[in-house]
Chain A
Amino acid sequence: MRKDQDISVQTDDSLNYYGPIPGEGIAERELKKAPTPRAGKARQTYLEAKSSASVEFPYWYTRRWEELEGEVPVIRRAEALKTAFSHLTPGIMPGELLAMRKAGYLRGSFPLPWLSEAFFLSKEDDLYKEAQKAGKASADEVTTMGQGGGNVTKSIGNVISIAGKFGLRKEEMPILIKTAKRWFNKSVDDVGHKYEQLIPGYQTKEEIMRAVICMFDSGYTLPQGREVINYYYPLQFGIEGIKNICRENQDKSAGQPPMDRLYFYRAVIIMLEGLQKWIMNYAVEARFMASLEENETQKSEYLEIAERLDWLAVNRPRSFHDALQLTWIFHVAVLNEDAISGLSPGRLGQVLYPYWKEDIDKGVLSKERTIELLECMRVKFTEIDCFASMGVVGGVLSGNTFNNLCIGGLDKDGNSAANELEELILESAMSCDTPQPTLSLLFDEKLPEEFLLKGVECTKIGTGYPAWISNRVAMEFLLNNYGKEGMQTEEARAWAIGGCLETSPGSWMPLDLNGKRHYIPGGSAPATSVGVHFISLPKVLEAVLFNGIDKRTGRRVYPAHDSPLESYEEIWTAFKQYFSLTVEVLTLANNIQHDIWGKVTPSIVNSMLKPDCLDSGMDISHKGSRYNRTFNVEICGGVNLVNSLASVKKNVFDEKKISLKELRAAVEANFGYLSALETGSYSLTEQVKTGTFKDWMKIHKLCLDAPKYGNDDPYADNIFRDWQIWFSKMCENYRSLYDEPLYSCQISVSTHAPMGAVTLATPDGRLCGTTFADGSVSAYPGSDKNGPYALFNSATCYNHASSQNSQLNMKIHPSVVKGREGSRKFLEMIKAYLRRGGFHAQFNIVDSRMLKDAQKNPEKYRGLMVRVAGFTQYWVELGKQIQDEVIARTEYEQFG
């Protein structure tokens, strides 16, 4: 649009003649496609819905549990699940093609007090205060929850806000409190806590939690997830078929060692009876709704749902639609048995391909109908809410549930596994751009170029997915880690991403369909990201500089190292000591918590699905699944650690420009700035100076000018590499409760915000309370000054396969990847990074001006999505810390 204005002002027309030119207005995202009317309507309804909790499930679960005092635990658990599933009120929405959801509400979920009950109790409650003492609530206190979208952060009228996000009807509150109290001293949290106190160094563990050096315990918060579900058994056998397998095995195992098998098979049968009741209740509801419906089309759709559910409650799926519905049912069933984040459908397009191809060939299914179904599936996945405490949901997950769907990769024989259904999955993700399921493209040189370009087109929309992931690096990691449990190359190809970015082992399972055998991939290990969760590396370094004290609280966290710190090596040694101690106490404590989890609330639904639990008769907490080396150590703020070490090495020891004492003083004085908690902005670029700023500006400049990771500068990169090599090696010194060594994991999800919030200024010049660098190989915002290729080189200075993953987040201005030429260049760049040994890269293709505008006018941007860290989320549902961080990420306006 041309307007008469000052001739020197750049107009839109002339902008088009050059590539990357930052204009005056906000650059629009390039591609936009509309969903089908059905999915568009469902998405709109979703956007208007609030996160809603209910107490049906916990009430019935607890009631049945208490009735069965003295019963074998796994049977007791199965009965409780069965009763709870049977009593869930069905919720069917008009226009749905796929039925069933977690609970009756559209964004329904429910608390699981048998895991942890403390956070449902009011702050005045004595039981709550008890829980506070153990340092458990620290993570909640430093977390900000997104204030917009569907989050219910404040009580309104008859709706009470619980856990900082969920609305609960007022009259249900007393039931929740009463139910929660029944679990006092019995929940996984409480029982685990009783025993973890017996570990040597427990006091240190508690102080580590209080200082938020570690974000949270994993045993009772999100015991499952970060894994790939396996839909094979229901698809191959149908629910009744699985029950038959269990009945046969029950007969064979009764009275025979190992004795636990009998109870497991029995428990699976009981649980499946509960699921059948749950499914049939939905069928009844659908028929009831049909009876009230006047619109003939809608009426017949309800009846179709009823017929399909009745069939699937017993039988194998007959069609693509059936198969999609059945996979969804089991996805929700697993989600309902535990507090789970990161249950990934995995390579769903390859699992369902045999059904889809048959229907297409028979002419009973069209591509248009497929898109509509897939779009509806996207909305269903987006509706999933995970109920946990605010520190977990807000601080770690940013409200995301990480249902990662993978496309591409290799098939069993090593050929490209990409198929036409996956192209439609990409298309539906473009037309119906919802955060879930997020997509990951498993890049391999064997994938066809057209498929990759389709992936680029989708990434360019600005939704942040697919993330681009190296199949080769993943396979190397898998064979290193799971090779010791017998994994061969062929099976390594069956992997997928579980959760946001956790490389998870899979298996090929033989699916028989109309006389043909297909090998479909699926997960074959339990949660791959449990154990030591998110150690804040800059905070450990802070403790090193201050001899073991947490400066924020003034409490002693670690035993004093009393090292004079007169050389860089002495600092590095003290750091290794503190870090090792941290991993040690957290491993011991988490082993106990996870063991208690397996004893009090063993997984039955997910266990049944995972090969080879049905063969061995053992659940996943008894190593029933094929692979069990799944415990890891996760870290946060690695780049700030490396930059800080580089600054100390350069300024204090190599060039002796400042003393360590001066540096400590500068860090404590926050280089003369207000802390981020005072300014309310968590990004480095928007901090406010105090009157003492000039006293510290020389030291601050030295810190900022010190070598930084991300610039292809060997000074910083060598420190980074040393750290990486040491880290992945040291993890193997610790053993999980399954007596397997731990491995290193490099995701920090959203923890870089709350963990940055409690950390003083760091020697790299980062200011107090501001967010750490995101991801694991992303540069600290603004510190990568040599362009993206230098960053890529820094990122790949060590072998990414030595860890479960690595993570590179980049923000790219839409103008850079504009047009067809832009797509091709973008793909070349992604490929080049992955070929160099990069494991993962993901992109926010959005103008920062748009994000700033969205911060000011959230109502205009309800549907705007951004990539955070292995996941895509609605902008308005993100906490302010993360919003600031995304805006501050270096924006590339040019390649090279």
Chain B
Amino acid sequence: MNCFWCCNPEGISPKPALMYSVSKCILCGECAGKCEHHAINIEDGKLNISRSFCLSCEQQNCIDECYSGALRLSGYEISLPKLYGIIRRDRQYWGSEGGLTLTGGEPLLQLDFVKSLLQKCHEDYIHTAIETCGNIPWNNFQEVIPYLDWIFFDLKNSDSNLHLKATSADNKLILENAKRLSTEFPGRLIFRIPLIPGFNDSEENINSVISFLKDTGRKEINILPLHHLGREKYQMLQKSYTGGSHPVPVKESLETIRKMFNASGVDCYIGSETPF
């Protein structure tokens, strides 16, 4: 999926992307000279990265030669033992209510890795949670359900066409998965709405979410109001950010929506003001 308001655009592609910070760059040109794919050049005092030639390659010559820290890769590969080593180290500092949350991108696209990691954590009494867009084969859920305590599941729009337009996928599979999880997942399932004014904050959409919650027997919803904090990352990826044309939700409309949910007996949490 590819949602226009995404605040982690570097996670949309499964491959790590080259990120470039203009403010740190000293235009020394070392990177351009070392790129084997000739994807970087400096013209008129500006550094250009040709995204069609840049392969985010393994050599990373450009990053090795960057002395100002302007270039970096958005991700890296890590082995299961190494990642688990970090979790094992960190759990000492979490306190009794801490745990692991996998997020993305869509974590369940890396099923084997995610499954092994969750299994290991589950064995070692580490609380586990996952944030998912829901648009993945049911089997992927089935594989990890036994090792998960919580699932955060996005409901972006009840209107399948609007959903398709905004995220490049319709909501059919998502809703199917959501219904199935609500009967087959024994842990805590929390639905979330990334609230984008003008896209999914209409009364109609909220009401259909309410009836969906009623059907699935859920009593809580988490609203994530739109923010524009990912804007800089678009610049670093040299992508354009279309989410910027939508305003962030105003407090009053959030309160109205909260009241609608409350009236139907659903607890509505906004942003990080949640009990979890």
Interface residues in chain A, defined as those with a beta carbon under 8 Å from any beta carbon in chain B:
2, 7-8, 10-11, 13-14, 16-19, 21, 694, 697-698, 700-701, 712, 788-790, 792-793, 824-825, 828-829, 831-833, 835-836, 895-896
Other than the given A10-B248, A17-B225, 17 more pairs (CB < 8 A) read A2-B250, A8-B228, A11-B248, A14-B227, A17-B271, A17-B273, A18-B227, A700-B67, A789-B93, A824-B95, A828-B94, A828-B97, A828-B98, A829-B95, A831-B95, A835-B92, A896-B98
Give complex CA distance A254, B163 in Å.
Answer: 100
* Closest partner residue, chain B, to A833 (CB atom): B93
Give the chain A neighbours of B246 by CB distance below 8 A. 7
* Closest partner residue, chain B, to A831 (CB atom): B95
9 contacts between A and B (CB under 8 A): A13-B251, A17-B225, A18-B272, A712-B89, A789-B92, A789-B93, A828-B93, A833-B93, A836-B93
Which residues between 203 and 244 of chain B lie within 8 Å of chain A, taking CB atoms? Answer: 224-225, 227-229, 231, 244
Give complex CA distance A824, B95 in Å.
Answer: 9
Nearest chain B CB to A224's CB is how many angstroms away? 39
Which residues between 80 and 95 of chain B lie within 8 Å of chain A, taking CB atoms? Answer: 89-90, 92-95
Nearest chain A CB to B34's CB is how many angstroms away? 12
Contact B231 A14 (CB under 8 A): no
Give complex CA distance A833, B90 in Å.
Answer: 11
Give the chain A neighbours of B225 by CB distance below 8 A. 14, 17
Contact B95 A828 (CB under 8 A): yes
The answer to whether B28 has its CB under 8 Å from any CB of chain A is yes
Given contacts A7-B248, A17-B272, A694-B28, contact A896 B95 (CB under 8 A): no
Contact B67 A10 (CB under 8 A): no
Give the chain B neighbours of A835 by CB distance below 8 A. 92
Contact B93 A896 (CB under 8 A): yes
Contact A10 B95 (CB under 8 A): no
Give the chain B neighbours of A21 by CB distance below 8 A. 227, 229
Nearest chain B CB to A524's CB is how many angstroms away? 36
Give the chain B neighbours of A896 by CB distance below 8 A. 90, 93-94, 98
Give complex CA distance A526, B244 in Å.
Answer: 65
Nearest chain B CB to A233's CB is how many angstroms away? 44
* Closest partner residue, chain A, to B85 (CB atom): A712
* Closest partner residue, chain B, to A828 (CB atom): B95
Contact A13 B272 (CB under 8 A): no
Residue of B67, B244, B250, B272 touching A697 (CB-CB under 8 A): B67
Nearest chain B CB to A203's CB is how many angstroms away? 43
Give complex CA distance A11, B247 in Å.
Answer: 11
Give the chain B neighbours of A7 by CB distance below 8 A. 246-248
Give the chain A neighbours of B270 by CB distance below 8 A. 17
Give complex CA distance A408, B90 in Å.
Answer: 27
* Closest partner residue, chain B, to A696 (CB atom): B67
The answer to whether B11 has its CB under 8 Å from any CB of chain A is no
Give the chain B neighbours of A712 by CB distance below 8 A. 89
Give the chain A neighbours of B96 by CB distance below 8 A. 828
Give the chain A neighbours of B251 by CB distance below 8 A. 13
Give the chain A neighbours of B16 by CB distance below 8 A. none
Given contacts A10-B248, A13-B251, contact A789 B89 (CB under 8 A): yes
Nearest chain B CB to A3's CB is how many angstroms away? 12
Give complex CA distance A352, B21 in Å.
Answer: 59
Nearest chain B CB to A838's CB is how many angstroms away? 11
Give the chain A neighbours of B224 by CB distance below 8 A. 17
The answer to whether B249 has its CB under 8 Å from any CB of chain A is yes
Contact B250 A698 (CB under 8 A): no
Given contacts A828-B95, A832-B94, A836-B92, contact A19 B227 (CB under 8 A): no
Most buried by B among A17, A21, A824, A825: A17
Nearest chain A CB to B115's CB is how many angstroms away? 23
Contact A829 B93 (CB under 8 A): yes
Give the chain A neighbours of B244 by CB distance below 8 A. 8
1/0 per residue, CB under 8 A from A, across B42-67: the answer is 00000000000000000000000001
* Closest partner residue, chain B, to A896 (CB atom): B90
Give the chain B neighbours of A825 by CB distance below 8 A. 95
Give the chain B neighbours of A828 by CB distance below 8 A. 93-98
Give complex CA distance A18, B225 in Å.
Answer: 9
Residue of A16, A700, A832, A836 touching B95 (CB-CB under 8 A): A832
Residue of A8, A790, A824 touching B231 (CB-CB under 8 A): A8
Nearest chain A CB to B9's CB is how many angstroms away? 16
Given contacts A10-B228, A17-B225, contact A832 B93 (CB under 8 A): yes
Residue of A2, A14, A788 touching B249 (CB-CB under 8 A): A14
Most buried by A among B97, B227, B270: B227
Give the chain B neighbours of A829 by CB distance below 8 A. 93, 95
Given contacts A832-B94, A833-B93, contact A16 B67 (CB under 8 A): no
Contact A701 B67 (CB under 8 A): yes
Nearest chain A CB to B190's CB is how many angstroms away? 16
* Closest partner residue, chain B, to A712 (CB atom): B89
Contact A832 B92 (CB under 8 A): yes
Contact A13 B271 (CB under 8 A): no
Give complex CA distance A24, B273 in Å.
Answer: 21
* Closest partner residue, chain A, to B243 (CB atom): A8
Nearest chain A CB to B94's CB is how many angstroms away? 7
Give complex CA distance A788, B94 in Å.
Answer: 11
Give the chain A neighbours of B97 by CB distance below 8 A. 828
Given contacts A694-B28, A712-B89, contact A10 B94 (CB under 8 A): no
Give the chain A neighbours of B228 by CB distance below 8 A. 8, 10
Contact B94 A793 (CB under 8 A): no
Give complex CA distance A896, B273 in Å.
Answer: 19
Give complex CA distance A214, B271 in Å.
Answer: 53
Give the chain B neighbours of A2 by CB distance below 8 A. 250
Nearest chain A CB to B53's CB is how many angstroms away? 25
Give complex CA distance A17, B229 in Å.
Answer: 13
Give complex CA distance A701, B68 in Å.
Answer: 8
Give complex CA distance A761, B90 in Å.
Answer: 34
Nearest chain B CB to A769's CB is how many angstroms away? 21
Contact A13 B250 (CB under 8 A): yes
Contact A16 B271 (CB under 8 A): yes
Contact A793 B272 (CB under 8 A): no
Residue of A17, A697, A788 touching B28 (CB-CB under 8 A): A697
7 cross-chain pairs, A with B, having the tightest CB-CB distances, nearest first: A17-B271, A828-B95, A7-B247, A832-B93, A697-B67, A789-B90, A14-B248
Given contacts A18-B272, A832-B94, contact A10 B229 (CB under 8 A): yes
Give complex CA distance A700, B69 in Å.
Answer: 12
* Closest partner residue, chain B, to A701 (CB atom): B67
Give complex CA distance A158, B97 in Å.
Answer: 63
Contact B93 A698 (CB under 8 A): no
Which residues between 85 and 116 of chain B lie within 8 Å of chain A, taking CB atoms? Answer: 89-90, 92-98
1/0 per residue, CB under 8 A from A, across B234-276: the answer is 0000000000101111110010000000000000001111000
* Closest partner residue, chain A, to B273 (CB atom): A17
Give complex CA distance A674, B214 in Å.
Answer: 67
Contact B89 A793 (CB under 8 A): yes
Given contacts A19-B272, A700-B67, contact A10 B93 (CB under 8 A): no
Give complex CA distance A778, B75 in Å.
Answer: 27
Give the chain B neighbours of A831 by CB distance below 8 A. 95
Give the chain B neighbours of A694 by CB distance below 8 A. 28
Nearest chain B CB to A2's CB is how many angstroms away? 8
Which residues between 144 and 173 of chain B lie within 8 Å of chain A, taking CB atoms? Answer: none
Give the chain A neighbours of B93 by CB distance below 8 A. 788-789, 792, 828-829, 832-833, 836, 895-896
Give the chain B neighbours of A18 by CB distance below 8 A. 227, 271-272
Nearest chain B CB to A244's CB is how many angstroms away? 55
Give complex CA distance A8, B96 in Å.
Answer: 38
Give complex CA distance A19, B225 in Å.
Answer: 13
Give the chain B neighbours of A790 by CB distance below 8 A. 89
Give complex CA distance A7, B227 in Å.
Answer: 10
Give the chain B neighbours of A16 by CB distance below 8 A. 271
Give complex CA distance A18, B231 in Å.
Answer: 17
Give complex CA distance A11, B227 in Å.
Answer: 10
Nearest chain A CB to B84's CB is how many angstroms away? 14
* Closest partner residue, chain B, to A793 (CB atom): B89
Give the chain A neighbours of B94 by CB distance below 8 A. 828, 832, 896
